[in-house]
C-alpha cells in the first residue's frame, strides 16, 4: 500500500475494461487512455467519460476518499476508485472496473445502495441515559464528560465513510443474499459505536442479536480487509459484541439480570414497519 512510487516517470497509455450495462445485460468494454503521474482509477474513468463514453454512469463526489461514493470492484477487489492509483496495479494487464455485486445494479458502475439507508433507519439512535450524574457525566453547562479513551474506542468506528465495500464483500450479503436477516458489517460497527458510548441509555443487545443478525457473521474478516479507513471491523466491533450476546443469552444469572426491568437502560421503541427513505 505504501510502496515508494517514482512519480517522475511518464506512465504512458493504459487499458481499462469497464463494465457497461444494466440489469438486463452487460459486458466489459475496453478503453485505452493516456495517463499522467499519480493518476487514480477515478481520474481514468472520468477522462473516459469525458472523451469516449459520455453516458458512462459512475457515482462520485469528493474525489478525496472522504465521502465513500465511488466504490467499485477494481481488478476484482472492492476499492475506492479515487484512492486507487493506476501505478499500484499490475502494468502488464488491463485494469477491470466493475460495480459492487452485493447491491442491485442501476447501470454501469452505479448500484442501488438504498438498502443500507433502510437498515440505518432501523437502528435506534443515540439516546442519553436519563439522570446523568452531574459533575461526573455531565457538567453544569450540559456538556458531556467523557474520557478520551472512550472517545478513541468509539472513534475507530465513526471513521466509517459508508462506502459500503464491507457490505459488498460480506458472504452473508454477497453470496447468501440474506439482506433481510443481517445488517452487515457497516451496521454492526455502527451498533458497536453506539453500544460503547458511555452515556448511551439504550439496551441494544436484542437488536444486535435478533434483527441485526450478528450470529450470521462467520468471522472471515473480508470486511476488515477491504475497509479503506483501516477499521478493525471484525476484531474490535463484531467479535466483542458476539461475545456479549453469548454471555448475556447463555449465562443463566446474566440472563435473569438482562430480563430484569428498571436496570437503568431503556428499551428501544418499536421500529417502524415500513422504513421510508
Partner 1 sequence: MSDGGIEHHDYDVLVLGSGGSGLRAAIAAAEAGARTGLVCKSLLGKAHTVMAEGGLAASLGNVAPEDNWATHFQDTMFGGKYLNNWRMAELHAKEAPDRARELEHWGAVFDRTPQRTMSQRAFGGHTYKRLVHIGDRTGLEMIRTLHDKTVHSDVEVFMETTITRLIKDGERVVGCFGYRRQTGELIAFAAKALVLATGGSGRIYKITSNSQDCTGDGYALAFEAGAQLVDMEFVQFHPTGMVYPPGVAGLLVTEAVRGEGGILRNKDGERFMERYDPKRMELSTRDVVARSIYTEVKEGRGTPHGGAYLDVSHLDPDYVKRKLPSMYDQFLELAGVDITKEPMQVGPTCHYFMGGVKVDPDTGATRVPGLFATGEASGGMNGANRLGGNSLGDILVFGRRAGEGAAATANASGAVSLPAEAVADARAEIEGFLHGSGTENPFHMHRELQKIMGDGVGIFRDEEGLTEAIGKLEELDARVANLRAPSDRLDYNPGLQLCREVRNMLTVSHMIARAALLREESRGAHSRLDHTGYSDYWGEHNIIVEGTGAHDMSLTPTPVVKRDELEELVEARKEAEKAS
Positions touching partner 1 (CB under 8 A) are 1-2, 4-5, 7, 22, 36-40, 43, 49-50, 54-69, 83, 85, 106-108, 110, 112-114, 117, 120-121, 125-126, 128, 139, 141-148, 151, 154-155, 158-162, 193-194, 197, 276-277
Complex with partner 1: residue 106 or 178, whichever CB lies closer: 106
List Cβ neighbours of 69 (8 Å cut-off, separation of 6 or more).
Answer: 59, 60, 61, 62, 163
Complex with partner 1: residue 165 or 242, whichever CB lies closer: 165
Report, in Å, the least distance between residue 126 CB and partner 1.
3
Helix (H, G, I), strand (E, B) or coil at 119: helix
Report, in Å, the least distance between residue 193 CB and partner 1.
8
> Considering all CA atoms of the chain, what is the largest pairwise distance in Å, rounded to the nearest integer?
69
Report, in Å, the least distance between residue 25 CB and partner 1.
14
Report, in Å, the least distance between residue 198 CB and partner 1.
10
Q: Which three cell numbers stand for residue 122?
A: 432501523
Q: Where are the alpha helices (DSSP H) in 159-195?
A: 165-169, 171-174, 185-195
Complex with partner 1: residue 63 or 171, whichever CB lies closer: 63
Q: Are strands 13-21 and 26-34 parallel, antiparallel or unpaired?
A: antiparallel
**Among candidates 190, 42, 69, 37, which has minimal Cα distance to 125?**
190
Complex with partner 1: residue 256 or 277, whichever CB lies closer: 277
Report, in Å, the least distance between residue 41 CB and partner 1.
10
Complex with partner 1: residue 228 or 242, whichever CB lies closer: 228
| % helix, strand, coil for the chain, step of 5 | 35, 15, 50
**Among candidates 242, 257, 149, which has minimal Cα distance to 198?**
149
Complex with partner 1: residue 203 or 242, whichever CB lies closer: 203
Complex with partner 1: residue 16 or 161, whichever CB lies closer: 161
Say how far apart CA 21 and CA 109 lie, in whole Å. Answer: 9
Say how far apart CA 67 and CA 206 lie, in whole Å. Answer: 31
Report, in Å, the least distance between residue 30 CB and partner 1.
19
Q: Which three cell numbers stand for residue 25?
A: 445485460
Report, in Å, the least distance between residue 7 CB and partner 1.
6
Amino acid at each position: 500500500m505504501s510502496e515508494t512510487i517514482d512519480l517522475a516517470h511518464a506512465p504512458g497509455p493504459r487499458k481499462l475494461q469497464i463494465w457497461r450495462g444494466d440489469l438486463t445485460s452487460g459486458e466489459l468494454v475496453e478503453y485505452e487512455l493516456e495517463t499522467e503521474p499519480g493518476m487514480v482509477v477515478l481520474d481514468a474513468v472520468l477522462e473516459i467519460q469525458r472523451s469516449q463514453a459520455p453516458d458512462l454512469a459512475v457515482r462520485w463526489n469528493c474525489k478525496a476518499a472522504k465521502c465513500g461514493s465511488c466504490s467499485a470492484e477494481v481488478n476484482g477487489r472492492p476499492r475506492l476508485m479515487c484512492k486507487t492509483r493506476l501505478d499500484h496495479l499490475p502494468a502488464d494487464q488491463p485494469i477491470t472496473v466493475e460495480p459492487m455485486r452485493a447491491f442491485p445494479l442501476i447501470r454501469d458502475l452505479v448500484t442501488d445502495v438504498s438498502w443500507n439507508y433502510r437498515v440505518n433507519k432501523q437502528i435506534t439512535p443515540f439516546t442519553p441515559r436519563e439522570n446523568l450524574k452531574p459533575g461526573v457525566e455531565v457538567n453544569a453547562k450540559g456538556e458531556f464528560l467523557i474520557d478520551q479513551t472512550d472517545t478513541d474506542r468509539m472513534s475507530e468506528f465513526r471513521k466509517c465513510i459508508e462506502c459500503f465495500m464491507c457490505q459488498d464483500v460480506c458472504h452473508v450479503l454477497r453470496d447468501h443474499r440474506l439482506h433481510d436477516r443481517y445488517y452487515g458489517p457497516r451496521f454492526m460497527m455502527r451498533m458497536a459505536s453506539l453500544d460503547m458510548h458511555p452515556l448511551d441509555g439504550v439496551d441494544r443487545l436484542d437488536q444486535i442479536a435478533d434483527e441485526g443478525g450478528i450470529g450470521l457473521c462467520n468471522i472471515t474478516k473480508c470486511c476488515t480487509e477491504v475497509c479503506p479507513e483501516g477499521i478493525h471491523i471484525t476484531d474490535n466491533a463484531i467479535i466483542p459484541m458476539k461475545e456479549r450476546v453469548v454471555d448475556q443469552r447463555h449465562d443463566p444469572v446474566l440472563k435473569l439480570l438482562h430480563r430484569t426491568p428498571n436496570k437503568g437502560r431503556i428499551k428501544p421503541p418499536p421500529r417502524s414497519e415500513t422504513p421510508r427513505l
